[in-house]
Amino acid sequence: MNYQEIFEKISDELKDFEQIGQVAAYIPALAKANPNSFGMYLVTEEGHEYAHGDTDTPFSIQSISKVLSLVYAFKLVGTDLWKRVGVEPSGSPFNSLVQLEYEQGIPRNPLINAGAIVICDILLSHLNEPYDNFIAFVRELAGNSGIDYSSKTAESEKACGFKNNAHINLMKSFGNIENDVEEVLDFYFHLCSIEMSCKDLAQTFMFLARSGKNPLNGKQVLSARETKRINAIMLLCGFYDEAGEFAFKVGLPGKSGVGGGIVAIYPDQYSIAVWSPGLNSKGNSSKGIKALEIFTTITQSNVFGPSPIFDELEYE
């Protein structure tokens, strides 16, 4: 497969893409992002790598970190995790409060804000040096010791994090938060603030395409059984109320963040990251989704089965 050529074709096709969307201005630090940035990076099972566009520029991964914190918590507490957070798609926006009261403070899944906040609470209860331990975990997956939190972005989000405050206080009232709410939220905002490039991101998620094994050092991060569960959660919950549409059009487990990044994996084959900061109304990268839709259509790589392309309109 000539992936480089496919990247050129996608970039060409999306050159005048009109529905580029809006950057996430509700977090002041993210409002400065350049909506025209665009990068795609692919890491394959054989260890080949393909880059197109802005693939070395670090950006705020935001909710993509929710998968990494989930993995870390799953390693620490195993299936006890599911007493504190569910595995059902929410069908509602990432920051919606509505279900949380009906469901007695147990978030629908770990990839919406409420779920990720509970995961942060679990990490704080189990780690001696949560900030250091977590970033070390991410750096090892990425093979990049330069990856870090952005305190600036975390502070900026904290200053207007009223909705996340509402989430955590509601969960605390139901007894689903053990630690101090301020401490948990600070940790949550820092996890969201981690900066990575497309290259780092594709590499970091490669273990989920390889039955849990980090290809850089051969270490088993999760068992194959645990890995397939994380991938199932990404497929069903990774794009909030657009998860169905992403499965329908792209057909891979993946995760987005309001920094405009998306990462997706094709089991036993590859990990791919795209970055375009313009978001659609669901808070997912608009051009990023389109690029992945074209990519998985041309390469016939999706978890539901290949289908030959008959004409250019096939991925419309």
Count of CA atoms in the C-beta half-sphere (13 A) of 100: 29
Shortest distance in whole angstroms from residue 102 CB to ligand GLN: 21
Q: Which helix (H) or strand (E) holds 42?
A: strand 39-44
We find the least distance from the C-beta atom of residue 310 to ligand GLN, in angstroms, to be 36
Percentages of the chain per state (helix, strand, coil), in multiples of 5: 50, 10, 40
Pairing of strands 270-275, 195-196: unpaired
Using the minimum distance from each CB to ligand GLN, give the nearer residue, 136 or 160.
160
Nearer to ligand GLN, 153 or 214 (CB): 153
Which of 179/301 has CB closer to ligand GLN? 179
DSSP structure string for 61-80: -GGGHHHHHHHHHHHHHGGG
Smallest separation (angstroms) from ligand GLN to the CB of 278: 14
Smallest separation, CB 15 to ligand GLN (Å): 26
Helix (H, G, I), strand (E, B), or coil: what is residue 304? coil
Choose between 226 and 242: whose C-beta lies nearer to ligand GLN. Answer: 242
> Minimum distance between the CB of residue 257 and ligand GLN, rounded to whole angstroms?
4
> Under a CB-based contact definition with an 8 Å cutoff, are residues 2 and 8 in contact?
no
Token pair in block for residue 30: 């993210």
Q: Is 225 helix (H, G, I), strand (E, B) or coil?
A: helix
Q: Give dist(CA 212, CA 229) in Å, integer.
A: 11
Question: What's the closest the beta carbon of residue 59 comes to ligand GLN, in angstroms?
Answer: 12
Residue type, 299: T
Judged by the rule CB under 6 A, the positions of this chain that interact with ligand GLN are 62-63, 94-95, 113, 157, 164, 192, 257-258, 283
Give the nearer residue to ligand GLN in terms of CB position, either 112 or 272.
112
Cβ of residue 237: shortest distance to ligand GLN, in angstroms? Answer: 12
How many whole angstroms separate alpha carbon 263 and alpha carbon 111?
14
Give the residue nearest to ligand GLN (CB). Answer: 63
Q: Minimum Å distance from CB 217 to ligand GLN?
A: 29
In the beta sheet, which residues pair with residue 196? 59
The span from the first CA to the last CA of the chain, in angstroms, equals: 22
Coil/strand/helix, residue 295 = helix
Instruction: Select 21 or 212, whichever has its Cβ closest to ligand GLN.
Output: 21
Nearer residue to ligand GLN within complex by CB, 10 or 119: 119
Determine the Cα–Cα distance for residues 151 and 157; give it in Å rounded to an integer: 10
Closer residue to ligand GLN, CB minimum distance, 84 or 158: 158
